[in-house]
């Protein structure tokens, strides 16, 4: 009770010191919001380059306002470090590190584990620790809790509080940001739930919804993205069927969404990208096997979505064939390698897989993306955008594939100069004439 009251008092009078482990797409915006709310904040990251940029007030995350970061650093309310010994000076630690899949498509929780080990070394009594990284249900209690207790010699619930609050970051969303997106909190014990949720209420404007345990919050996050994975899988499969039947899936969706209830539109594409939707179902199916449970529906949707890049390349081959051109040796220009429109994030981008599959069958591939001038992903694949999208560059290509619906691309110019276009995002729906365009 003394720890609880002390923390609530610190939250109320803004003397509580906060820390954020991992200064990426989730961690840096959260650190900025904590500092803007009046809490002294320190960010931890193992990448010295990120730490140096933050301390210089240089922003590298699209959802953070450049001037906000610079002003907070200048005022001394936000700084970054690679030295985890400073954990000892904090009262609240949020862990926001990546949770990718390994080469066997199984959860890689090494970043979470390593972060917990470092935090445990310097954890002091009266600290709140919250995991925000998306992971399988049970991670907080089965993995984090033992590491933190063993490494610190402290007891969860008595000496420190532990919880899970899933990140809800949607890069490029013009309305919902970290500050105004509702937050879910699940913690170990009522006191931890009360104090951790109080901290988020002091920082964020969105509703704070508490649940009975970290496992519920972990499963909730998985449900959010599995729901989208399944529905995207459904519409991708229907898109394949509609193509065989000579029906436009885009027109079908436009008609269906006129219904004011019971239907939410999802759209087909070259696959799934980003850090959540393509990965989260794998965490759930992996955990389900521990209980001898097979998530058949979920796994089927994953198979469909994972196969979209190959399907798009197959369609590209047929398009070229109709123009009496073999895919082997064909010049293919890919428009967009970001995983969604108008952002510079290419994590798990399906467009990069499309490029890889095109090269496998002998195509000479180039790409243009005004948001991603070059890329290097975790699989060692690299690429560099052509410097400008010109009529000459378009005309020199045997096929143009639209794989990302960026709004700052002159699609009318592309249509006017391209020999053939495969539009996987239906961005050219209002361009006429459309004789050289085939839509997914």
Which tens digits make up the pLDDT trace of 112-155?
999 999 999 999 999 999 999 999 999 999 999 999 999 999 99
Residue 95: how many CA atoms within 13 Å on its side-chain side?
A: 30
3-state secondary structure the chain: CHHHHHHHHHHHHCCCCEEEECCCCCHHHHHHHHHHCCCCEEEECCCHHHHHHHHCCCCCCCCCCHHHHHHHHHCCCEEEECCHHHHHHCCEEEECCCCCECCCCCECCHHHHHHHHHHHHHCCCCEEEEECCCCCCCHHHHHHHHHHHHHHCCCECCCEEEEECCCCCCCCCCCCCCCCCCEEEEECCHHHHHHHHHHHHHHCCCCEEEECCHHHHHHHHHHHHHHHHHHHHHHHHHHHHHHHHCCCHHHHHHHHCCCCCCCCCCCCCCCCCCCCCCCHHHHHHHHHHHHCCCCHHHHHHHHHHHCHHHHHHHHHHHHHHHCCCCCCCCEEEEECCCCCCCCCCCCCCHHHHHHHHHHHCCCEEEEECCCCCEEECCCCCEEECCCCCCHHHHHCCCEEEECCCCCCCCHHHHHHHCCCEEECCCCCCCCCCCCCEEEC
Q: What pLDDT is stored for residue 112 in this prediction? A: 95
Structure tokens at 50: 């990120």
Q: What pLDDT is stored for residue 431 in this prediction? A: 85
Backbone φ, ψ for residue 18 (5° rounding): -115, 155
Q: What pLDDT is stored for residue 1 in this prediction? A: 63
Residues of the chain with pLDDT below 50 are none
What is the pTM assigned to this prediction? Answer: 0.89
Rounded alpha-carbon distances, angstroms, from residue 17 to 6, 84, 119: 13, 14, 15
Please name the residue that has the structure tokens 């961690």. Answer: 27
d(CA 215, CA 6) in angstroms, rounded, equals 27
Q: What pLDDT is stored for residue 401 in this prediction? A: 98
d(CA 145, CA 154) in angstroms, rounded, equals 10
Q: What pLDDT is stored for residue 379 in this prediction? A: 63
Length of the chain: 440
How large is the angle between the packed helices 48-55 and 66-74, nearest 10 degrees? 80
Q: Which residues are catalytic?
A: 276
d(CA 21, CA 18) in angstroms, rounded, equals 10
Q: What pLDDT is stored for residue 347 in this prediction? A: 86
Which domains are present in the chain?
2-212 (3.40.50.720), 234-439 (3.40.50.720)
pLDDT tens digits along 212-264: 999 999 999 999 999 999 999 999 999 999 999 999 999 999 999 999 999 99
Return the ∠ at Cα 171 (arms to 170 and 172), rounded to 5°: 110
Give the torsion through C-alpha atoms of 337, 338, 344, 346, to 10 deg.
-100
Q: What pLDDT is stored for residue 272 in this prediction? A: 87
């Amino acid at each position: 009770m003394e720890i609880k009251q002390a923390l609530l008092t610190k939250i109320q009078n803004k003397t509580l010191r906060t820390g954020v482990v991992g200064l990426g797409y989730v961690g840096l915006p959260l650190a900025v919001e904590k500092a803007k709310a009046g809490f002294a904040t320190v960010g931890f990251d193992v990448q010295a380059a990120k730490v140096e940029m933050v301390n210089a007030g240089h922003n590298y995350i699209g959802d953070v306002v450049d001037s906000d970061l610079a002003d907070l650093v200048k005022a001394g309310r936000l700084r970054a470090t690679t030295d985890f010994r400073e954990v000892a000076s904090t009262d609240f630690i949020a862990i926001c590190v990546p949770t990718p899949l390994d080469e066997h498509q199984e959860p890689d929780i090494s970043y979470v584990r390593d972060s917990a080990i470092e935090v445990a070394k310097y954890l002091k009594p009266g600290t709140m620790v919250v995991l925000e990284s998306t992971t399988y249900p049970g991670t907080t209690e089965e993995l984090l809790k033992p590491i933190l207790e063993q490494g610190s010699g402290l007891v969860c619930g008595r000496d420190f509080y532990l919880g899970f609050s899933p990140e809800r970051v949607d890069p490029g969303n013009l309305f919902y940001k970290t500050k105004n997106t509702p937050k879910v909190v699940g913690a170990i014990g009522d006191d931890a739930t009360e104090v951790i949720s109080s901290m988020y209420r002091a920082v964020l404007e969105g509703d704070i919804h508490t649940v009975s345990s970290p496992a519920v919050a972990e499963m909730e996050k998985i449900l959010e993205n599995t729901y989208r994975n399944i529905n995207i899988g459904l519409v991708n499969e229907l898109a394949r069927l509609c193509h065989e039947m000579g029906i436009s899936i885009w027109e079908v969706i436009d008609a269906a969404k006129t219904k004011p209830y019971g239907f939410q539109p999802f759209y087909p594409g070259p696959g799934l990208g980003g850090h959540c939707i393509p990965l989260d179902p794998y965490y759930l199916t992996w955990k389900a096997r521990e209980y001898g449970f097979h998530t058949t529906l979920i796994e089927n949707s994953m198979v469909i979505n994972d196969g979209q890049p190959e399907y798009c390349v197959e369609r590209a081959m047929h398009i070229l064939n109709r123009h009496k051109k073999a895919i082997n040796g064909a010049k293919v220009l890919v428009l967009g390698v970001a995983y969604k429109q108008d952002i510079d994030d290419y994590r798990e981008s399906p467009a990069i897989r499309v490029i890889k599959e095109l090269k496998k069958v002998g195509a000479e591939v180039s790409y243009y993306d005004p948001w991603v001038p070059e890329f290097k992903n975790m699989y060692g694949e690299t690429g560099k955008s052509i410097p400008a999208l010109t009529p000459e560059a378009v005309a020199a290509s045997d096929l143009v594939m639209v794989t990302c619906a960026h709004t700052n691309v002159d699609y009318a110019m592309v249509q006017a100069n391209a020999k053939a276009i495969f539009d996987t995002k239906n961005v050219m729906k209002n361009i006429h004439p459309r004789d050289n365009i085939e839509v997914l």
